[in-house]
């Protein structure tokens, strides 16, 4: 809701507000969690329709798109990069 409110408020000033919402990403922090609780990795990936964790570099396309002129008419949106997790 914050993204939509800020986008509405700032649009007349030429400012676009969007959010990138990553899913479970294969990071060192998550790796540490899985080392302590290995059963969580399978439980979490089973809930992701693509059946895998994301890689942080898979966020790059979303970042480049939202920072480019290709998204000049995009504001107030949340772009989910989560392997379909929020779709189910």
For residue 68, give the CATH number of its domain.
1.10.8
pLDDT category, 87, cuts 50, 70, 90? very high
Do 21 and 83 meet the contact criterion of CB atoms below 8 Å apart? Answer: no
User: Structurally, how many domains does the chain consist of?
Assistant: 1
pTM of the predicted model as reported, rounded to 2 decimal places: 0.89
In terms of residue numbers, what domain contains 63? 2-10+26-87
Report the C-alpha dihedral over residues 62, 63, 64, 69, rounded to 10 degrees. Answer: 90
pLDDT category, 21, cuts 50, 70, 90? very high
Do you know the residue count of the chain? 88
pLDDT, tens digit (0-9, with 9 covering 90-100), for 26-71: 999 999 999 999 999 999 999 999 999 999 999 999 999 999 999 9
What confidence score (pLDDT) does residue 32 get?
Answer: 97
pLDDT category, 76, cuts 50, 70, 90? very high
Please compute the mean of the pLDDT values over residues 11-16 and round it to a whole number: 98
Q: Is residue 18 part of a domain?
A: no
Do 85 and 24 meet the contact criterion of CB atoms below 8 Å apart? Answer: yes
Q: Is residue 21 part of a domain?
A: no
Token output for 6:
């800020």
């Amino acid at each position: 809701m914050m993204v939509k409110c800020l986008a509405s408020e700032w649009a007349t000033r030429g400012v676009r507000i969007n959010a990138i919402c990553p899913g479970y990403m294969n990071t060192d922090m998550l790796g540490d969690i899985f080392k302590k609780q290995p059963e969580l990795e399978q439980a979490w990936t089973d809930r992701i329709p693509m059946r895998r964790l994301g890689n942080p570099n898979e966020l790059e396309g979303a970042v480049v798109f939202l920072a480019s002129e290709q998204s000049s008419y995009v504001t107030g949106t949340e772009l989910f990069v989560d392997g379909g997790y929020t779709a189910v």
